[in-house]
Each structure stands twice: as C-alpha cells, then as structure tokens.
Amino acid sequence: MIRNLLPLVALAGCTPMVATETPQAGPEAAAPGDGSCKIDGLTDLVGQAASSDLAADAMRRSGARTMRWIGPDTAVTMDFRPDRLNIDTDAGGKVTRFHCG
C-alpha cells in the first residue's frame, strides 16, 4: 500500500506553488494613538541610568506599547514592531540611544 502512495506523493511535490504576498504595514501606516512608537522628545533621557522608572517614563512619552533593553552584547531579533521602544545602554548601564522597532 505504501508503494502505491509513493507516486502520488511525488506528483504532489511537482505541483506549482502560487506565491502570495501579504502587504506589510510599515511605520508610515501607523495612526496616532495606536501605540506606535515616537522617539521625539526623549533626548533628555539619554545618559541617565537605566531603571524601571526611566523605562516607564520613556514608554509613556513615546506612546509605545512594549519596550526592550539592548545592552552592548545583547542579541536581538530583527523583526520590526512599530509599537516597540528599544532602549540601548552601554556597559555601565547608561542609556545611549532610543529607537523604535
């Protein structure tokens, strides 16, 4: 019986695949108030010590829904999330940069 199914499986692998693309929403598609991240006005926090209070303040001011700390040797995913605030820190735990994604 398995011998009879083998040709069907081989033929199924030869059928053409139809490629479809789902349009990805970019940062320009984000509407205000939808949780999209905006880093304007966070420059006064650069140089401060990383803390949960700083993160909460930065999230509130940026409008982001989520955040992540990125240290000097931290591995991060490359997925873009318009609602995520990234806070880069140096080896001493000081904030060096804010960016969205």
For the beta carbon of residue 17, count every other beta carbon within 10 angstroms: 5
Q: What is the pLDDT of residue 29?
A: 41
d(CA 79, CA 68) in angstroms, rounded, equals: 13
For the beta carbon of residue 41, count every other beta carbon within 10 angstroms: 11
Q: What is the pLDDT of residue 10?
A: 58
Q: Which domains does the chain have, with CATH numbers?
A: 2-100 (3.30.10.10)
Q: What is the pLDDT of residue 35?
A: 73
d(CA 19, CA 21) in angstroms, rounded, equals: 7
* pLDDT by 10s per residue, the chain, length 101: 666 655 655 555 554 444 334 344 444 444 445 678 999 999 999 999 999 999 999 999 999 999 999 999 999 999 999 999 999 999 999 999 999 99
d(CA 18, CA 37) in angstroms, rounded, equals: 35
Cβ atoms 79, 99 nearer than 8 A? no
Q: What is the pLDDT of residue 95?
A: 98
Q: What is the pLDDT of residue 6?
A: 56
d(CA 101, CA 86) in angstroms, rounded, equals: 7
What is the three-class DSSP state of 100?
A: strand
Helices then strands, each counted (H, E), the chain? 2, 3
